[in-house]
Structure 1
Amino acid sequence: MNSRLFNHIPIKNLSGVGPALEQKLHKLGLNTIQDLLLHFPFRYENRALTSKIADVKVGQHISIEGEIVQKQIIAGRRKMLVCTLSDGTGLANLRFMYFNVGIQNSLRQGEWVRAYGEIKQGKRGVEIIHPQYQLIRHQASLQTDDGQLTPVYPTTEGMTQTVLRKLITQALLLLKRNQPEEILPTNLMQAMPDIVTALSTIHQPPVDIDPALIDSGEHPAQKRLIFEELLAYQLSMQLTKNYNQDQQAYPLIASQKLISPFLAQLPFSLTDAQKRVTEEIEQDLKYPVPMMRLVQGDVGSGKTMVAAMAALMAIENGKQVVLMAPTEILAEQHYLNFKKWFEPLNITLDWVSGRLQGKAKQAQFDAITRGEITMIIGTHAIFYDKAQFADLALVIIDEQHRFGVNQRLSLWQKGVKNERCPHQLIMTATPIPRTLAMTIYADLAISIIDELPPGRTPITTVVIANTRRLEIIERVKQACKHGSQVYWVCTLVEESETLDAQAAENLAQELQAYLAPINVGLIHGRMKPAEKQQIMQSFKDNQIQLLVATTVIEVGVDVSNASLMIIENAERLGLSQLHQLRGRVGRGSAVSHCVLLYQAPLSKTAQSRLQVMRDSNDGFVIAQKDMEIRGIGEILGTKQIGTADFKVVDLVRDQHLIGQIQRVSHYLLDHHPQSARQLVDCWLPDREKYINA
């Protein structure tokens, strides 16, 4: 790595960083000065903007001033401090869910306060939750910051914005004193600002900067960093691909000795799309170079069947196969499906479950090591250090976006033996628009299953306000009486397994009271795997007619008799997650319905999302709309290191650069390979170890 951003200097060398603060910085992934310099603001605050309370709008980030006319502690699951401000034009509440004695004592009735934050609509009028505030003299306005934009950074519990800003100021001073060399060749720099100017502008915008320019990502400093980061990502993918093509793998020739009897026992035929993708995989596997192929397919398109065909190609050649899923529920469902398909062919397979412990687990690992188990299914726990393979030739990863590129590459390397790498097949039910796939999955060949199996009935989606809840409960009762089964998905604003579990338990009790004698079941993330499996089995066996669930059922649950899904607070979920959840129904021949319950008032974004869900069942259309509305992070699920965890790039906004970036990446690799590697190591230091560093 070029030392221009001081990746070799630990963050603890900065003034004021003791062991406790160092640990908090590490939680944010900030280990070096370089990490700190590339830790960018996610927004800016213009605290000079002050509004009368009567004129504020929900969603604004703005300052208000007023007198505290009421102060109260509200009891509940968590105590809250609420102070009501009046400026003569209206009232606004400052709400603190976390507060100490100092805060409580400083905010006294009669004091004047200037508070900054996002205006939200609360039960008692407009409010700011956890505002940044300062006491001011009676009706005397606080000194403004002359219009300067204040950066707001991603942070962690116990670390304030002030601390982060002071540390970044130290890092910038170090950068300016040393004036590091540029990595990019001069002919690529064109009219771009140098790296020191670009970073200084992003972290400490000058007073005269145009806020509109920086909000749109059009400021030259941002464009310089966007170009560099996108280029680094593209280079990392190209280097990974090049590295992969230099490796050796076992060529796997499909003999049909297992595939033919497997297809003969199926009660259906493969779709044309499944046949096409299977042929693409077969072509990859016959070469002594590791296959790296992504299969995209909408919910219910039959990706698992394609994975089974690929597995049989490896097993026909006397090799082992691993299938990895993101959750135990999905892993177990894969195990049950493959067991039903493969045991008649005398293929030995097993499920590596977290519930197996001690000697039983060791015995299982020993059998895998000896090659007695041909197909292994489980979560990423499969790749614990204890798990060694006799002759692993194919790794299948389901729901790739749940893992992240670095994790995927490390798993792939785990399978390397005798200088032979396993082939890798990656599956996702989260479609990615083509231009973005060219960046996100540039190291992979891509196949698309663009056809649903015959007999799948379209799902009718309706959007209904929560005020009509009793009507929906009556509809559920009628569906269950007529033999259908129903999901009711419970969601919360904040993702928390504990809170989700409590909310789901309360909902299950409420519905059981309304719907007796209909049998209501409950499943959530805090249950033990054995409990989850028992509940799911009861639901599959129709012993449970209504299953109340958290989003733990987003993937992996297949109950053909379930034809109605209710999604509570649907406005809180992204389109891709809503589409995944909806895909749990409509898996049989019955006409299926999805009810999206929402809590008014709806934001414009939420209205747009729910309208898309009502209008379309096409995952690719939904993914495109999701990207336009919420950005690429929503499409890929939770952001993960090495997936699309961009620091300054917005792939939706910046996708027009992809063609240029691809050309420049090839130029750099051909003419400036050292610069290419330095750029990757600057922006993606964890990736370098996977590309022959």
Structure 2
Amino acid sequence: MSDVATLSHPISALKGVGPALSEKLARLGVSVVADLLFHLPHRYQDRTHITPIGHLRSGREAVIEGEVTASEVVVGRRRSLLVRMKDDTGIVSLRFFHFGQAQTSQFARGIRVRCFGEARAGSTGLELYHPEYQLVGRHDAPIEEQLTPIYPTTEGLPQPRLRALMGQALEIFDTTPSALPDLIPAPLRSRFALPALHDALHYIHRPPPEAPLEQLIEGTHPMVSRLALEEMLAHQLSLRQVRRRIQQDAAPALGSGASLNARFLAGLPFALTSAQHRVLNEINGDLQRALPMLRLVQGDVGSGKTVVAAMAMLGAVAHGYQAALMAPTELLAEQHYRTLKQWFEPLGLTVDWLAGRLKGKSRLDAKARLADGTAHVAVGTHALFQEDVAFHRLGLAVIDEQHRFGVHQRLALREKGEAVGITPHQLVMTATPIPRTLAMSAYADLDVSVIDELPPGRTPVKTVVVPDERRNEIIDRIENACAEGRQAYWVCTLIEESDALQSQAAESTLERLTEHLPGLAIGLVHGRMKAADKAAVMAAFKDGELDLLVATTVIEVGVDVPNASLMIIENPERLGLAQLHQLRGRVGRGSVESFCVLLYHPPLSGSARERLGVMRDTNDGFRIAEKDLELRGPGEVLGTRQTGLIGMKVADLTRDRGLLDSVRACADAVVDNETVSEALIQRWVGREANRYGQV
């Protein structure tokens, strides 16, 4: 080992690491020596004892030792080197398909060999294919004292080389433990019975023979949990840092806007639920402070989030500020635009629309109204935060379906207000219920409100699970429903994430249904259509001009047609629970009894059967979200935009949900210690911290 190598040095400071090996290690996220210590094994081999040859079992890995009795090059379907060896209990063969003359000459009769590999049934009985081996004397080569770690690796970087490098890193750590300090203060380690960092890393990289392998591999061992907690703490602190940085700026203190809100409520054909009133009070409490609001509103499909957002926007407008609502798709943004225009124009307010398809003079005019303040409310897609868009006085930014955007995209809207010296309040909404585990981790920079009550008169959607061989029965059911004046959806899904293939599936389905249902007006919506064409079809469906809408999952969010009471989802086994729940939420939006038919293609896998069973048994979005997290993990539930959480090195938000309370308590204790907080963030989040809002 180099005399000058330290944990903070580039990995090239270690013995034997040149440019080529440095490049391979970089692929594993290892750039400095300390990174090696956090590159953890994904399994272990037990090489701590020698297994008698006679005790070998097919499919089991083992260390064996014996004497070579014969070796020969066998020419068959594949040329191989076959070595026979024995001990006092039995005989076994070693077989090598890739070998040279030097290797052939090593295995002379009478030579003693120790090797490690997996025994498998072969043409000569039990055989070890390409085992690791060494030639040994009678009294040398001590057996391994610890379990042997197997690390995630990359092409051209064999396990023995990686283990040797890890040995160098551990030796440096032993010599200078202060170079990688224990950043969780001793009182907290004592309070939560956390092992020291040095002990945890040593145990994980060099477990003793009696270590519980299953716990280590599954990540439930206290030594692994110690690292998982620290990593989750770093992510939590990083998001809290975002919050603190934003709230260092002043935001406009907005009163309730009571007069405007009263006029708005008087025009609604329904009364707000107690849950909506409670969440509005929480929002108004934030808006009345001169600190930027950072609040997430969760509500199941149909719980009335849009009305709550609208009233928050009126609070901004009532005090001379603008409000903006950003949605992830043009279809959803246009629906919000139509709804807000219908609600706000009778109050004398101007609502403007800005999306990618708005071109030429229309776009220029809309931008001009936003810049001079003529437009009170702006609705659009990510086009709202493009560089050429300026606001006159943006006081509130509302982001719908937050999980579709990255944190940095959400914060980009903030800059639109800051450009004129105002830090706008932020309200983010999601109709995808987020399990408490994820909400506490992914949105630690936000206060969370939950609309946990549906408006009165909503009838729960009845869900049935039906094999696709009963397709004709389902088509008859659609005909009957439409004959009674109802409308229906038929949703097409494919395994491939391809707009082109999904569109083809939807077009083929349209042809078949048109043939079987000649008396119905049937429309088509898919992802490859122009936004204007999609909007026109959706408007026709909403106005009752179409009986049946064939669609891809593009209708997942935002489509509100109260007269639609029947949905067929084809191949539902290919979708996650959250997406199925969102699709199902397009029906049951009126007072009539509604149905969702999950038309699956048998046979179903065990997990698919479990998912569809959950959909059949419950309409509770939060229960569905918890099950989705359990089945698919946080990456799928949150969506790929939340990359910081998905890229955790050690922690698993599903497995480690039990650590969340401890993580929050630790964050509360160290958040004001900037030195410790920053060191934790750099250790675990590093460059990813930029994704958490350093925009």
TM-score (norm: length of structure 1): 0.76
1:142 corresponds, among 104, 129, 134, to: 129
Would the aligned equivalents of 2:353 and 2:366 in 1 still touch at CA under 8 Å?
A: no
State the distance in 2 between where 1:425 and 1:332 align: 19
Gaps of 5+ in 1: 53-67, 70-111, 114-135, 154-159
State the distance in 2 between where 1:313 and 1:687 align: 33
Which residue of structure 2 aligns with residue 510 of structure 1? 512
Q: Structure 1 residues 547 and 206 mapped into 2: Cα distance closer, same or farther (>3 Å)?
A: farther
Would the aligned equivalents of 1:430 and 1:636 in 2 still touch at CA under 8 Å?
A: no
3-state DSSP of counterpart to 2:334: helix
Displacement of 1:49 in angstroms is: 10
1:362 corresponds, among 360, 364, 371, to: 364
2:19 corresponds, among 6, 12, 15, to: 15
Displacement of 1:326 in angstroms is: 1.1
State the distance in 1 between where 2:477 and 2:387 align: 51
Displacement of 1:342 in angstroms is: 0.9
State the distance in 2 between where 1:241 and 1:388 align: 24
- 5 Å-filtered alignment, 1:345-360, equals 345-360=347-362
Q: C-alpha deviations, 1:600-637, integer Å up to 9, x for none?
A: 22222222221111111111222223233333334324
Q: Which has the higher mean CA deviation after the structures are superposed, 609-618 or 679-688?
A: 679-688
State the distance in 1 between where 2:548 and 2:45 align: 50
State the distance in 2 between where 1:603 and 1:402 align: 29
AA aligned to 1:323 is: L
Displacement of 1:367 in angstroms is: 2.6
Which residue of structure 1 aligns with residue 72 of structure 2? none
State the distance in 1 between where 2:569 and 2:394 align: 41
3-state DSSP of counterpart to 1:228: helix
1:617 corresponds, among 616, 619, 642, to: 619
Which residue of structure 2 aligns with residue 340 of structure 1? 342
Q: C-alpha deviations, 1:534-562, integer Å up to 9, x for none?
A: 22122223333222222111101111111
Which residue of structure 2 aligns with residue 444 of structure 1? 446
Q: CA RMSD in A?
A: 4.1
Q: C-alpha deviations, 1:364-390, integer Å up to 9, x for none?
A: 323312222221111122111111211
Q: Structure 1 residues 448 and 178 mapped into 2: Cα distance closer, same or farther (>3 Å)?
A: same
Would the aligned equivalents of 1:466 and 1:599 in 2 still touch at CA under 8 Å?
A: yes
Which residue of structure 1 aligns with residue 89 of structure 2? none
3-state DSSP of counterpart to 1:420: coil
Q: Structure 1 residues 201 and 335 mapped into 2: Cα distance closer, same or farther (>3 Å)?
A: farther
Would the aligned equivalents of 2:398 and 2:428 in 1 still touch at CA under 8 Å?
A: yes
Displacement of 1:681 in angstroms is: 2.7
2:604 corresponds, among 590, 602, 605, to: 602
Q: Structure 1 residues 6 and 240 mapped into 2: Cα distance closer, same or farther (>3 Å)?
A: farther
Which residue of structure 1 aligns with residue 84 of structure 2? none
State the distance in 2 between where 1:454 and 1:657 align: 38
3-state DSSP of counterpart to 1:257: helix
Q: C-alpha deviations, 1:574-613, integer Å up to 9, x for none?
A: 2111111100001122211001122222222222221111
AA aligned to 1:384 is: Q
- 5 Å-filtered alignment, 1:196-345, equals 211-345=213-347
Q: Structure 1 residues 668 and 573 mapped into 2: Cα distance closer, same or farther (>3 Å)?
A: same
Q: Structure 1 residues 523 and 199 mapped into 2: Cα distance closer, same or farther (>3 Å)?
A: farther
Which residue of structure 2 aligns with residue 683 of structure 1? 684
AA aligned to 1:651 is: L
1:567 corresponds, among 559, 563, 569, to: 569
3-state DSSP of counterpart to 2:343: helix
Displacement of 1:4 in angstroms is: 5.5
Q: Does 1:493 align with 2:491?
A: no
Would the aligned equivalents of 1:175 and 1:196 in 2 still touch at CA under 8 Å?
A: no
3-state DSSP of counterpart to 1:235: helix
Which residue of structure 2 aligns with residue 674 of structure 1? 675
Would the aligned equivalents of 1:14 and 1:167 in 2 still touch at CA under 8 Å?
A: no
State the distance in 2 between where 1:161 and 1:451 align: 53
State the distance in 2 between where 1:167 and 1:481 align: 72
Q: Structure 1 residues 470 and 39 mapped into 2: Cα distance closer, same or farther (>3 Å)?
A: farther
Displacement of 1:149 in angstroms is: 6.8
AA aligned to 2:180 is: E
- 5 Å-filtered alignment, 1:452-601, equals 452-601=454-603
Displacement of 1:176 in angstroms is: 5.2
Q: Structure 1 residues 421 and 575 mapped into 2: Cα distance closer, same or farther (>3 Å)?
A: same
AA aligned to 1:311 is: M
Gaps of 5+ in 2: 1-5, 47-55, 61-75, 78-96, 99-120, 134-146, 174-178
Q: Structure 1 residues 529 and 198 mapped into 2: Cα distance closer, same or farther (>3 Å)?
A: farther
AA aligned to 2:181 is: E
Q: Structure 1 residues 195 and 185 mapped into 2: Cα distance closer, same or farther (>3 Å)?
A: closer
Which residue of structure 1 aligns with residue 94 of structure 2? none
Q: Structure 1 residues 484 and 246 mapped into 2: Cα distance closer, same or farther (>3 Å)?
A: same
Displacement of 1:354 in angstroms is: 0.9
Displacement of 1:328 in angstroms is: 1.0
Displacement of 1:229 in angstroms is: 0.8
TM-score (norm: length of structure 2): 0.76
Displacement of 1:288 in angstroms is: 0.7
Q: Structure 1 residues 530 and 171 mapped into 2: Cα distance closer, same or farther (>3 Å)?
A: farther
3-state DSSP of counterpart to 2:643: coil
3-state DSSP of counterpart to 1:387: coil
AA aligned to 2:129 is: L
Q: Structure 1 residues 446 and 488 mapped into 2: Cα distance closer, same or farther (>3 Å)?
A: same
AA aligned to 1:597 is: L
3-state DSSP of counterpart to 1:454: coil
Q: C-alpha deviations, 1:377-404, integer Å up to 9, x for none?
A: 1112211111121100000011111113
Displacement of 1:460 in angstroms is: 0.5
State the distance in 2 between where 1:209 and 1:529 align: 59
State the distance in 2 between where 1:638 and 1:668 align: 29
Displacement of 1:429 in angstroms is: 1.2
Displacement of 1:232 in angstroms is: 0.6
Displacement of 1:235 in angstroms is: 1.5
Would the aligned equivalents of 2:384 and 2:413 in 1 still touch at CA under 8 Å?
A: no
AA aligned to 2:683 is: C
AA aligned to 2:234 is: A
How many aligned positions are there?
A: 601
Would the aligned equivalents of 2:394 and 2:416 in 1 still touch at CA under 8 Å?
A: no
Which residue of structure 2 aligns with residue 120 of structure 1? none
3-state DSSP of counterpart to 1:564: strand
Which residue of structure 2 aligns with residue 184 of structure 1? 183
- 5 Å-filtered alignment, 1:79-228, equals 142-144=129-131, 151=151, 175=169, 179=173, 180-182=179-181, 184-185=183-184, 187=186, 211-228=213-230
Q: Does 1:398 align with 2:400?
A: yes
3-state DSSP of counterpart to 2:655: helix
Would the aligned equivalents of 1:328 and 1:529 in 2 still touch at CA under 8 Å?
A: yes
Q: Structure 1 residues 470 and 151 mapped into 2: Cα distance closer, same or farther (>3 Å)?
A: farther
State the distance in 2 between where 1:148 and 1:358 align: 66
Displacement of 1:44 in angstroms is: 5.7
Q: Which has the higher mean CA deviation after the structures are superposed, 299-308 or 419-428?
A: 419-428
AA aligned to 2:518 is: A
State the distance in 2 between where 1:367 and 1:358 align: 15
3-state DSSP of counterpart to 1:462: strand
State the distance in 1 between where 2:57 and 2:408 align: 43
Would the aligned equivalents of 2:407 and 2:693 in 1 still touch at CA under 8 Å?
A: no
Q: Structure 1 residues 542 and 15 mapped into 2: Cα distance closer, same or farther (>3 Å)?
A: farther
Q: C-alpha deviations, 1:212-265, integer Å up to 9, x for none?
A: 223321245522320211111222233333334332100111233322221121
